[in-house]
Amino acid sequence: MLGTNSFPKKERLCGDTLIGILFKKGTKYYQSGFLFYAYLHKIECTDDTDMFECEQVISVPNFSVILTTRKRLFKNAVDRNKIKRLLKESFRNNKILMQNYVIPKDKLLLLGIIYVGNEVPNYTNCDKAVKYFLTKGLSSFFTNNDEKINR
């Protein structure tokens, strides 16, 4: 059994359709060199629905996260991979803060964390920004979308 501080495949956002939905319809937040996206995606499981989407609803964590940085800003893959490792580690350690939010069973919370700063960040900056987003950013997201959640 995986611990609470793990980052399994079920929690990673993959698939062009869900990523496109997140970046087109998601709410955008900016915090000190980081762009955060959040979107509540309602999934209806019918015969036409992709099995992957239905499994996402049934799975225990009903959120998915994408962590990335821009290739235009960081030409070296070493730098991009380091940033993604820092983001993954800070999200993995702070995702327990998401337990405060109740996500309905028929919805999937899509999250995107993108580093857009000019320099490779250190762990404390990543950790501080992710903590801020998981506490204040998501709380404002849920209060602004409260009427949409209950539908």
**Per residue in 128-150, pLDDT tens?**
999 999 888 888 887 877 644 44
- Strand 27-31's sheet: what is its strand order? 27-31, 34-42, 107-115, 63-69
Looking at residue 88, its pLDDT comes to 92
CB-count burial class (<10 Å; 0-12, 13-18, 19+) for 5: exposed
Q: Under the phi-then-psi rule, with left for phi > 0, alpha for psi from -120 to 50, and beta for the rest, what region is 15?
A: left
- For residue 5, name the pLDDT band (cuts at 50, 70, 90): confident
Per-residue tokens: 113 = 């964390």
Looking at residue 46, its pLDDT comes to 65
Give mean pLDDT, residues 23-28: 91
Answer positive or negative: Cα dihedral of 49, 54, 57, 62. Answer: negative
Is pLDDT above 90 for 123?
A: yes
Looking at residue 147, its pLDDT comes to 46
Residue appearing with tokens 């939010």: 101
Q: Domain residues of the chain, as ranges?
A: 9-149
The domain defined by 9-149 carries CATH number 3.30.230.10: yes
